[in-house]
Amino acid sequence: MQRDVEIEIETVDKSGGFIGTLWFNKNENAAVALVQEGLATVHSYSADTLSWSRQLYAAEVCRAFYLRGMFCFGVAAEPTRSLLLGRGKS
């Protein structure tokens, strides 16, 4: 199965490693899809520098809800990470 993808490089480190985004179907972020399916986890040090990091954290939360038999209505309806971790006001 082949798909057209786009790669967007956000930053490059000294050793040549990069952090970026792999887009498929013109508007779907591969990292968010992998986290939602439970095939990847979020590395907060790298994720916090991305403009779409909230989507990653929301996908992680939705996956946790799914594993507990609860529903999450999409990544757009994302709760704040600090509330989920008990660091914010309720």
Q: Determine the pLDDT at residue 77.
A: 39
Q: What is the dihedral of CA 76, 80, 84, 85, to 10 degrees?
A: 140
Whole-model pTM: value is 0.66
Identify the band that residue 30 occupies on the pLDDT scale cut at 50, 70 and 90. very high
Q: What pLDDT score does 63 carry?
A: 84
Residue 42 predicted with pLDDT over 80: yes
Give the C-alpha separation, 16 to 50, whole Å: 18
Q: What is the mean pLDDT of residues 58-74?
A: 77
